[in-house]
Every structure is written in C-alpha cells, then in structure tokens.
Structure 1
C-alpha cells in the first residue's frame, strides 16, 4: 500500500515520560517529510499545549482535543464543540459532588475552581501551564473538551450523562469529557475527507486508551511497545517503546524510511 499520511499521538508516542522527543524520533519525522509523507499530530491535548512540540518536529497539522478540533497547515478544517445544555448539566452535577472542571476552548482553557489540588496534580503531568480561573468561560466560548476531576470509584456518579457525552480517563484524578461519538478517529476521518485521502493511505501510532479508534481506522495501526495492554488488540503491528526507537522502527516496518 502507498501510504500518504501518518498520525502520531504525543504522550508515550512522540515524547517519553519526561515529555522529551527522542533524537531518533526527530530523525524519523524529518525522513518522513523528506520522503513526501505528511506527518500529523493526533492528540487529546489542546492546540495551545503542543506548539513547542509541533515546532520542534516541523509539523503544522494536527487533530487535537481527541478529534474535536482539526487544523491542516494552520487552517481549521473541523470543529465539534460540546453542546451548551450538556455542559450546563455537567457543571451542575460536578458542583453537587464538589468535583472540579476545566473547560478547553480552541485558544485557551480555564478551571471552575482556583488552585484545586486534583487540577494542579493532573495538569502538572502534562508539563504545561496551569489553567486560568473562570467558572463562566464555557458560557461565552465554544468548548471542545473538558477535564472532570474525580477518582475512578466516583465515575458512576455521572452515568446519567453518558448518552450526552463521553468520558475517557487519562489520569488517576482526571477524565477527558468529549462530545458523544467524538474520538481521534472522527477527527482523522474529517481531515482525510478534506484531503481526498482514504483510510487505507493512513498510518496511526499510539499508546493509550484514546488511541483505539484511530488505530482501527488507519490502514496500518501501530502500537508503541509501552502501550496500555488494552490497546494492543487494536493494532496491526507493535513496535518498540518510545525510548527504544519505536517511531523509527515502526516507520521502517511500513517501508516509509
């Protein structure tokens, strides 16, 4: 198959636990671009979280916020914000249980509580700036994703909203809150449609639970050696870990470098 485009998750895929890009990954992406293959970041992160990484890799296209916000060469090509009524219902329910929320827009993000320890701890693992504070931010801005801060045994408190939103845990203290049906795969499909490419022409690399759909969608789904074990059945190929040349070896397997 002639692959034309490659989608890369960030955490545990392009970067290691220290949020560093291994030298062989930088080399692999440079080779990919030289060979005329389009590299695209596909992440749960917001666009304002990934600018330094994207610049370091020379990548200007990305599927962000788990597929809800897609940019190709600097131009927004797909948006899927959360419904305001659904956000209001979640705000009310989270307030009842004293669980903090973070609202992620296209250009900035804000928490509904100041200096909440769960927010501080979870966001610190991303090695990005802490959110601002604005409980009303969601009312006047499109929100593409939220963080709900609670422990795993408390997730059942939100079952009544699961027909209106999707929850994916990314930290012991935090879940991503997405529009229903939203996933990296949906954002990837929107970009493929925009470019006139088929799914068979795409490769996807990932390591986490929010990568299941995109590995299934892509013509070649590659799981990192450090992947969550529940991701492995969705992969066509398992490469080595992020710190052991996983990206380079995966692209070699696909005969792209």
Structure 2
C-alpha cells in the first residue's frame, strides 16, 4: 500500500514527557514532507496549545479538539461544537460536586475556577498558559471540548448524567468531555473526504485512550511503545518509545522514509 497522508498525536507521540520533540522526530517529519506525504497533527489539544510545535515542524494542517475543529493548510474545513444545552447540563451537574471545568473554544479557553489545584496540576502538565476566569464563556462562544477536573473515583458521577456526552481521562485529575459520537476519527474522515484520499491510504500514530478510533479508521494504525496498554490492541503495529525513535521506526515500517 502506498500511503498519502500521516496523522500524528502530540503528547507521548510527537513530544515526550518533557513536552519536547525529539530531534530524530523533527528530521523524520521533514523527510516525510519532502517525499510529498501530507503530515497532519491529530490531537485532543486546542490549536492555541500547539501553535509553536506546529510551526517548529512546519505543519499547518490539523485535527484538533478530538476531532471537533479541523484545519487544512491554515483554513478551517470542519467544525463540530458541543450543543450548548449539553454544556449547560454539564455545568449544572459538575457544580453539585464542586468539580472545576475549563471551556475550550477555537481561539481561547476559560475556566470557572482559576484556583482549583486539580485544574492547575493538569493544565500545567501540558506546559501551556493557564486559562483565564470566565464562568459564562460557554454561553456566548462555541465550545468544542471541556476539561472536567476530578479523580477517577468520581467518574461514575457523570456516566449517564448528561445524554450525548462522553468522557476520556487524560490526566489523573482531568478528563476530556466531548460529544458521545465525536473522536479524532471523525475529523480525520472530514479531511480525507476533502482531499479525496481513501482511509486505507492513511496512517496514524498515537499513544492514548483518545486515539483508539483514529488507529482503527486508517489503513495503518501505529501505537507508540509508551502507549497506554488499553490502546495497543487497536494498533496494527507497535513502534518504539517516543524517546527511542518511535516516529522514525514507525515511518520506516510504513516505508515512508528511508
């Protein structure tokens, strides 16, 4: 199979635990692009969380916010915000447990509690700016994803609380909240349709629980060696650790670089 496009998760895939891109990954992406293969970021992060990284790699196409906001060569091609009534339901339900929320739009993000230690711990782990305070941000802006800050033993409070929402844990004190049928795969399909590329002509790299659908929808799904154990069964191939040439070895396995 000749692959035409490659999708890359960020955390644990393009970047390591220090949120740095390994030099061999930078060189591999450059070689991939020089061979005419589209390189696309596919992440749960919002665009403002990864702009410097995208610029460093020379990538201007991305599937962001777990498939909710998709951009090709700098231009938005797909938007799928959470229905406002569902955000409102989440706000009301989380208030019962004093769980902090962070509302993510396409250009900015705000929280309803800037002092919450769970929120500070999780957002600081991304090594990005902290959100401003605006508990009403969701009322006037499209929200594509919400961070819900709690620990795993509180997850069951939300399972059936707001119809139409799903929850994916990405940190010990944080979960992504998005539409129940949303995923990176949805955003990837939108881009593939635009480019007239078949799913089997695409590959994807990931390491987290929000990468399951993405690895399944493409022709070759590659899990990093440092992946969550529950992701690995969804992969066609398991490469090495992000700091041990994971991207390089995966692209070589796909015969996309030398």
**TM-score, scaled to structure 1:** 0.99
Distance 1:222 1:173 in 2: 27
Partner of 2:143: 143
Cα distance in 2, alignment partners of residues 162 and 33 from structure 1:
42
Counterpart-to-counterpart distance in 2, 1:12 and 1:255: 22
- Whole-angstrom CA distance in 2 between matches of 1:145 and 1:186: 14
Segments of 4+ moved more than 4 angstroms: none
Q: Distance in 2 between matches of 1:229 and 1:208?
A: 9
Cα deviations by residue, 1:53-93 (Å, 9 ceiling, x for unpaired): 00000000000000000000011001110011111111011
Secondary structure, aligned partner of 1:161: coil
Q: Which runs of 5+ in 1 are unaligned?
A: none
1:246 equivalent to 2:246? Answer: yes
> CA offset at residue 158 of structure 1?
1.1
Match of 2:210 in 1: 210
Aligned to 2:31: 31
TM-score by length of 2: 0.98
> Residues 70-219 of structure 1: matches in 2 within 5 Å?
70-161=70-161, 163-219=163-219
Question: Relative to structure 1, is the Cα distance of residues 168 and 162 closer, same or farther in structure 2, using a 3 angstrom cutoff?
Answer: farther
C-alpha separation in 2, matches of 1:34 and 1:114: 44
RMSD of equivalent CA atoms: 0.7
Q: How far is 1:110 from its partner? A: 0.1
Q: Any idea what SS the aligned residue of 1:160 has?
A: coil
SS at match of 2:159: helix
Q: Any unmatched runs of 5+ in structure 2?
A: none
1:231 matched residue in structure 2? 231
Q: Distance in 2 between matches of 1:71 and 1:19?
A: 23
1:30 positional shift: 0.3
Q: What's the secondary structure of 2:176's corresponding residue?
A: strand
- SS for the counterpart of 1:50 is helix
Q: String of CA shifts for 1:148-206, please: whole Å, max 9, x gaps.
A: 01111111111223531010000111100001211001110111111111101100000
Checking the alignment, whether the CA contact within 8 Å between 2:168 and 2:176 is kept in structure 1 is: yes
Query: 1:36 and 1:106 mapped to 2: Cα distance?
Result: 29
Secondary structure, aligned partner of 2:182: coil
**Between Structure 1 and Structure 2, how many residues are aligned?**
257
